[in-house]
Amino acid sequence: MDIKPQNLLLTEEFQLKLIDFDLAYCQGDYFVLSHGTKYFRAPEVVKDKCLDPMAADIFSMGVLLFALKVEGRCPFLEDANEKRISPFELLQKDREKYWAFVCEQLNKPPEFFDEDFKTLFEKMTKFDPKERPKIEEIKQSNWYKKEIYSQEELKNVMIQALF
């Protein structure tokens, strides 16, 4: 219930580990269902109406996926005080306008986000928790199945990122 970049570690073998389970959900523990970190929380968590913690975590993982791709920037803000449509609402209503908006805000070319990434992200951040994919479905997505770095390539990428 608190998936965010600060709660991730890399092992010496560059394996990703999730840490900090102080807000982990235990069956019947309704206290954590309205917590988490701003900008990474699912809409139902923000509204204190979370009925499916796993679906809320899928939403958070979608936001995390986006943030890792764009060096820490979040795809939406929770502050709904603005009079204009929020980026989250825009994504739910008009995906093309959303991605054009994001690319403009991040100063990225449209091809920065490939279709497989966009499709997976959109599914993971659906407003309705019942429409979000389960882990098994995520693992079957085209983006997830794409070629990954070898251990040596990953080591080189991470070393370059650190220095």
Q: What is the mean pLDDT of the chain?
A: 83
Residue-wise pLDDT for 62-88, tens only, equals 999 999 888 888 898 766 555 567 888
Any catalytic annotation for residue 94?
A: no
Q: Which of 2, 29, 48, 52 is catalytic?
A: 2
Quick one: CATH architecture of 5-162?
Orthogonal Bundle (1.10)
Q: Nearest-CA neighbor of 112 among 100, 122, 103?
A: 103
39 φψ region: left (φ > 0), alpha (ψ -120 to 50), beta (else): left
How many percent of the chain have pLDDT more than 70? 82
Q: What is the pLDDT of residue 137?
A: 97
Query: pLDDT at residue 127 above 80?
Result: yes
Q: Residue 103 and residue 89: Cα distance in Å, rounded? A: 17
Give the per-residue pLDDT at 122.
97
Is the pTM of the predicted complex or chain greater than 0.75?
yes
Greatest Cα pair distance, the chain, in angstroms, is 49
Angle, CA 127 vertex, CA 123 and CA 132 arms, to 5°: 35
Q: What is the pLDDT of residues 87-123, one digit of tens each?
A: 889 999 999 999 999 999 999 999 999 999 999 999 9
